[in-house]
Structure 1
Amino acid sequence: MAMSKAYQTYQNNSVNTATSGELTLKLYNGCIKFIKQAMQDLENKNYEAKNTNIKKSQNIIHELMVTLDMNIDISRQIMPLYEYIQYQLKEANIKNDSQALEEALNYVVEFRDTWKEVLKITRQQQYVKDGRV
Protein backbone atom coordinates (compact mmCIF):
# COMPACT_ATOMS: atom_id res chain seq x y z
CA MET A 1 0.00 0.00 0.00
CA ALA A 2 2.80 2.43 0.90
CA MET A 3 4.58 1.61 -2.37
CA SER A 4 1.45 2.51 -4.31
CA LYS A 5 1.22 5.86 -2.52
CA ALA A 6 4.89 6.56 -3.17
CA TYR A 7 4.45 5.79 -6.86
CA GLN A 8 1.38 8.06 -7.03
CA THR A 9 3.38 10.86 -5.42
CA TYR A 10 6.18 10.31 -7.94
CA GLN A 11 3.69 10.41 -10.82
CA ASN A 12 2.12 13.63 -9.52
CA ASN A 13 5.52 15.27 -9.10
CA SER A 14 6.65 14.22 -12.58
CA VAL A 15 3.57 15.91 -14.07
CA ASN A 16 3.78 18.99 -11.86
CA THR A 17 7.44 19.62 -12.69
CA ALA A 18 7.33 18.75 -16.41
CA THR A 19 7.71 21.35 -19.13
CA SER A 20 4.87 21.77 -21.62
CA GLY A 21 6.92 19.82 -24.15
CA GLU A 22 7.41 16.96 -21.71
CA LEU A 23 3.69 16.98 -20.90
CA THR A 24 2.88 16.66 -24.60
CA LEU A 25 5.26 13.69 -24.78
CA LYS A 26 3.48 12.13 -21.78
CA LEU A 27 0.15 12.58 -23.58
CA TYR A 28 1.45 10.81 -26.68
CA ASN A 29 2.89 7.98 -24.57
CA GLY A 30 -0.36 7.62 -22.66
CA CYS A 31 -2.35 7.52 -25.88
CA ILE A 32 -0.06 4.81 -27.26
CA LYS A 33 -0.44 2.80 -24.06
CA PHE A 34 -4.25 3.00 -24.16
CA ILE A 35 -4.47 2.10 -27.85
CA LYS A 36 -2.21 -0.92 -27.32
CA GLN A 37 -4.31 -1.96 -24.35
CA ALA A 38 -7.49 -1.56 -26.43
CA MET A 39 -5.94 -3.79 -29.10
CA GLN A 40 -5.25 -6.43 -26.49
CA ASP A 41 -8.75 -6.03 -25.06
CA LEU A 42 -10.24 -6.47 -28.53
CA GLU A 43 -8.18 -9.59 -29.11
CA ASN A 44 -9.41 -10.96 -25.76
CA LYS A 45 -13.00 -9.99 -26.61
CA ASN A 46 -13.14 -7.74 -23.55
CA TYR A 47 -15.30 -5.13 -25.24
CA GLU A 48 -16.01 -3.05 -22.16
CA ALA A 49 -12.30 -2.57 -21.43
CA LYS A 50 -11.65 -1.92 -25.15
CA ASN A 51 -14.26 0.82 -25.08
CA THR A 52 -12.76 2.36 -21.94
CA ASN A 53 -9.24 2.40 -23.38
CA ILE A 54 -10.33 3.79 -26.73
CA LYS A 55 -12.25 6.54 -24.92
CA LYS A 56 -9.09 7.38 -22.94
CA SER A 57 -7.14 7.59 -26.22
CA GLN A 58 -9.82 9.80 -27.74
CA ASN A 59 -9.72 12.09 -24.71
CA ILE A 60 -5.96 12.49 -25.10
CA ILE A 61 -6.23 13.28 -28.80
CA HIS A 62 -9.00 15.76 -28.00
CA GLU A 63 -6.73 17.44 -25.43
CA LEU A 64 -3.96 17.67 -28.03
CA MET A 65 -6.44 19.20 -30.48
CA VAL A 66 -7.70 21.91 -28.12
CA THR A 67 -4.17 22.96 -27.24
CA LEU A 68 -3.22 23.66 -30.85
CA ASP A 69 -2.71 27.34 -31.65
CA MET A 70 -4.60 27.66 -34.91
CA ASN A 71 -2.77 30.92 -35.69
CA ILE A 72 0.34 28.84 -36.35
CA ASP A 73 0.65 27.22 -39.76
CA ILE A 74 1.80 23.81 -38.50
CA SER A 75 -1.24 23.58 -36.21
CA ARG A 76 -3.53 23.94 -39.18
CA GLN A 77 -1.66 21.06 -40.81
CA ILE A 78 -1.74 18.86 -37.70
CA MET A 79 -5.45 19.31 -36.93
CA PRO A 80 -6.75 17.19 -39.84
CA LEU A 81 -4.39 14.39 -38.80
CA TYR A 82 -5.70 14.49 -35.24
CA GLU A 83 -9.25 14.47 -36.63
CA TYR A 84 -8.37 11.42 -38.70
CA ILE A 85 -6.95 9.65 -35.64
CA GLN A 86 -10.18 10.45 -33.80
CA TYR A 87 -12.16 9.02 -36.72
CA GLN A 88 -10.10 5.83 -36.75
CA LEU A 89 -10.54 5.40 -32.99
CA LYS A 90 -14.30 5.89 -33.32
CA GLU A 91 -14.50 3.38 -36.18
CA ALA A 92 -12.38 0.89 -34.24
CA ASN A 93 -14.68 1.21 -31.26
CA ILE A 94 -17.93 0.92 -33.20
CA LYS A 95 -16.83 -1.86 -35.55
CA ASN A 96 -14.29 -3.66 -33.32
CA ASP A 97 -11.79 -2.96 -36.08
CA SER A 98 -8.23 -3.87 -35.14
CA GLN A 99 -6.88 -2.38 -38.39
CA ALA A 100 -8.34 1.03 -37.52
CA LEU A 101 -6.69 0.78 -34.09
CA GLU A 102 -3.40 -0.15 -35.74
CA GLU A 103 -3.61 2.82 -38.09
CA ALA A 104 -4.40 5.21 -35.24
CA LEU A 105 -1.50 3.75 -33.26
CA ASN A 106 0.91 4.23 -36.17
CA TYR A 107 -0.01 7.91 -36.46
CA VAL A 108 0.32 8.53 -32.73
CA VAL A 109 3.69 6.74 -32.62
CA GLU A 110 4.88 8.90 -35.53
CA PHE A 111 3.72 12.07 -33.74
CA ARG A 112 5.42 10.91 -30.53
CA ASP A 113 8.70 10.08 -32.25
CA THR A 114 8.70 13.42 -34.07
CA TRP A 115 7.94 15.24 -30.82
CA LYS A 116 10.84 13.45 -29.10
CA GLU A 117 13.15 14.72 -31.84
CA VAL A 118 11.78 18.27 -31.46
CA LEU A 119 12.45 18.14 -27.71
CA LYS A 120 15.96 16.78 -28.29
CA ILE A 121 16.82 19.52 -30.80
CA THR A 122 15.30 22.20 -28.57
CA ARG A 123 17.37 21.03 -25.60
CA GLN A 124 20.54 20.98 -27.69
CA GLN A 125 19.87 24.51 -28.91
CA GLN A 126 19.18 25.66 -25.34
CA TYR A 127 22.48 24.18 -24.16
CA VAL A 128 24.37 25.95 -26.94
CA LYS A 129 22.54 29.21 -26.20
CA ASP A 130 23.33 28.91 -22.49
CA GLY A 131 26.98 28.18 -23.29
CA ARG A 132 26.93 24.71 -21.74
CA VAL A 133 28.65 22.98 -24.63
Structure 2
Amino acid sequence: MTAQMNAYNAYKQNSVTTASPGELTLMLYNGCIKFLGKAKVAIEEKNIQEKNTNIQKAQAIIAELMATLNMDFEISKQMLPLYEYMNHRLVEANIQNSTAIIDEVEGLVVEFRDTWKEVLKITRQQQFGGSQQV
Protein backbone atom coordinates (compact mmCIF):
# COMPACT_ATOMS: atom_id res chain seq x y z
CA MET A 1 0.00 0.00 0.00
CA THR A 2 1.33 3.40 -0.88
CA ALA A 3 1.95 6.17 1.62
CA GLN A 4 -0.90 8.11 0.01
CA MET A 5 -3.33 5.24 0.57
CA ASN A 6 -2.18 4.87 4.18
CA ALA A 7 -2.74 8.59 4.74
CA TYR A 8 -6.16 8.43 3.08
CA ASN A 9 -7.22 5.41 5.17
CA ALA A 10 -6.02 7.13 8.34
CA TYR A 11 -8.01 10.23 7.37
CA LYS A 12 -11.15 8.14 6.71
CA GLN A 13 -10.80 6.32 10.04
CA ASN A 14 -10.27 9.61 11.88
CA SER A 15 -13.29 11.21 10.22
CA VAL A 16 -15.48 8.35 11.46
CA THR A 17 -14.11 8.31 15.00
CA THR A 18 -14.45 12.08 15.41
CA ALA A 19 -17.84 12.49 13.72
CA SER A 20 -20.92 13.51 15.67
CA PRO A 21 -23.90 11.13 15.74
CA GLY A 22 -25.60 13.35 13.14
CA GLU A 23 -22.56 13.21 10.85
CA LEU A 24 -22.37 9.43 11.28
CA THR A 25 -25.99 9.14 10.13
CA LEU A 26 -25.10 11.21 7.09
CA MET A 27 -22.15 8.89 6.39
CA LEU A 28 -24.48 5.88 6.63
CA TYR A 29 -26.85 7.38 4.07
CA ASN A 30 -23.94 8.18 1.74
CA GLY A 31 -22.54 4.67 2.14
CA CYS A 32 -25.92 3.14 1.37
CA ILE A 33 -26.19 5.24 -1.80
CA LYS A 34 -22.69 4.14 -2.83
CA PHE A 35 -23.47 0.42 -2.35
CA LEU A 36 -26.77 0.72 -4.21
CA GLY A 37 -24.92 2.30 -7.14
CA LYS A 38 -22.37 -0.52 -7.13
CA ALA A 39 -25.18 -3.10 -7.02
CA LYS A 40 -26.81 -1.56 -10.10
CA VAL A 41 -23.51 -1.68 -12.01
CA ALA A 42 -23.04 -5.30 -10.95
CA ILE A 43 -26.52 -6.20 -12.25
CA GLU A 44 -25.76 -4.53 -15.57
CA GLU A 45 -22.46 -6.45 -15.75
CA LYS A 46 -24.25 -9.67 -14.73
CA ASN A 47 -21.93 -10.01 -11.73
CA ILE A 48 -24.29 -11.78 -9.32
CA GLN A 49 -21.75 -12.10 -6.48
CA GLU A 50 -20.93 -8.38 -6.55
CA LYS A 51 -24.64 -7.46 -6.77
CA ASN A 52 -25.46 -9.64 -3.78
CA THR A 53 -22.56 -8.28 -1.72
CA ASN A 54 -23.45 -4.64 -2.33
CA ILE A 55 -27.18 -5.10 -1.75
CA GLN A 56 -26.37 -6.85 1.52
CA LYS A 57 -24.10 -3.95 2.52
CA ALA A 58 -26.93 -1.49 1.79
CA GLN A 59 -29.30 -3.66 3.83
CA ALA A 60 -26.82 -3.73 6.73
CA ILE A 61 -26.75 0.08 6.70
CA ILE A 62 -30.55 0.24 6.66
CA ALA A 63 -30.60 -2.23 9.57
CA GLU A 64 -28.19 0.04 11.46
CA LEU A 65 -30.38 3.07 10.75
CA MET A 66 -33.37 1.11 12.09
CA ALA A 67 -31.49 0.00 15.21
CA THR A 68 -30.45 3.52 16.09
CA LEU A 69 -33.93 5.06 15.85
CA ASN A 70 -35.04 6.65 19.11
CA MET A 71 -38.60 5.40 19.40
CA ASP A 72 -39.41 8.15 21.95
CA PHE A 73 -39.89 10.45 18.95
CA GLU A 74 -42.88 10.30 16.62
CA ILE A 75 -40.64 10.77 13.56
CA SER A 76 -38.78 7.56 14.45
CA LYS A 77 -42.08 5.67 14.58
CA GLN A 78 -42.79 6.98 11.08
CA MET A 79 -39.30 6.16 9.76
CA LEU A 80 -39.24 2.54 10.94
CA PRO A 81 -41.84 1.22 8.45
CA LEU A 82 -40.11 3.15 5.65
CA TYR A 83 -36.78 1.49 6.47
CA GLU A 84 -38.56 -1.89 6.67
CA TYR A 85 -40.11 -1.24 3.26
CA MET A 86 -36.72 -0.32 1.78
CA ASN A 87 -35.16 -3.47 3.21
CA HIS A 88 -37.99 -5.62 1.81
CA ARG A 89 -37.63 -3.99 -1.63
CA LEU A 90 -33.88 -4.72 -1.61
CA VAL A 91 -34.62 -8.40 -0.97
CA GLU A 92 -36.87 -8.28 -4.06
CA ALA A 93 -34.22 -6.41 -6.06
CA ASN A 94 -31.66 -9.06 -5.17
CA ILE A 95 -33.96 -11.93 -6.17
CA GLN A 96 -35.17 -10.27 -9.37
CA ASN A 97 -31.87 -8.60 -10.38
CA SER A 98 -33.87 -5.38 -10.66
CA THR A 99 -32.12 -2.05 -11.12
CA ALA A 100 -35.57 -0.40 -11.14
CA ILE A 101 -36.24 -1.49 -7.56
CA ILE A 102 -32.76 -0.35 -6.53
CA ASP A 103 -33.50 3.02 -8.18
CA GLU A 104 -36.67 3.28 -6.08
CA VAL A 105 -34.82 2.57 -2.83
CA GLU A 106 -31.95 4.83 -3.84
CA GLY A 107 -34.44 7.66 -4.42
CA LEU A 108 -35.76 7.25 -0.88
CA VAL A 109 -32.27 7.12 0.62
CA VAL A 110 -31.21 10.25 -1.29
CA GLU A 111 -34.34 12.04 -0.06
CA PHE A 112 -33.66 11.00 3.55
CA ARG A 113 -30.00 11.97 3.22
CA ASP A 114 -30.81 15.40 1.79
CA THR A 115 -33.38 16.03 4.53
CA TRP A 116 -30.89 14.92 7.18
CA LYS A 117 -28.27 17.25 5.68
CA GLU A 118 -30.70 20.17 6.06
CA VAL A 119 -31.43 19.17 9.68
CA LEU A 120 -27.69 19.18 10.44
CA LYS A 121 -27.26 22.55 8.74
CA ILE A 122 -30.12 24.13 10.70
CA THR A 123 -28.88 22.58 13.95
CA ARG A 124 -25.40 23.97 13.39
CA GLN A 125 -26.77 27.40 12.58
CA GLN A 126 -28.74 27.36 15.82
CA GLN A 127 -25.76 26.10 17.84
CA PHE A 128 -23.16 28.44 16.37
CA GLY A 129 -25.33 31.38 15.37
CA GLY A 130 -24.00 31.50 11.82
CA SER A 131 -24.26 29.63 8.60
CA GLN A 132 -21.89 26.73 8.12
CA GLN A 133 -21.63 24.18 5.35
CA VAL A 134 -22.41 20.56 6.15
- Indicate the TM-score class for this superposition, using the shorter chain for normalisation: over 0.9
List structure 1 segments (4+ residues) > 3 angstroms apart after TM superposition.
none
Matched, 1:119 2:120: yes
CA distance in 2, matches of 1:90, 1:2: 39
The TM-score normalised by the length of structure 1 is 0.95
Give the SS at the match of 2:123: helix
CA distance in 2, matches of 1:114, 1:89: 22
Residue by residue, what CA displacement relative to the aligned partner does 1:67-122 show, whole Å, maximum 9, x if unpaired? 00112111000001000110111100011111110111000000000000000000
CA distance in 2, matches of 1:63, 1:77: 16
Residue matched to 2:83: 82
The TM-score normalised by the length of structure 2 is 0.94
Count of residues in correspondence between the two structures = 130
Please, which runs of 5 or more residues in structure 1 have no aligned partner? none
Over aligned residues, Cα RMSD in angstroms? 1.1
Matched, 1:98 2:99: yes
CA distance in 2, matches of 1:122, 1:26: 17
Residue matched to 1:26: 27
Please, which runs of 5 or more residues in structure 2 have no aligned partner? none
CA distance in 1, matches of 2:32, 2:90: 11
Matched, 1:53 2:54: yes
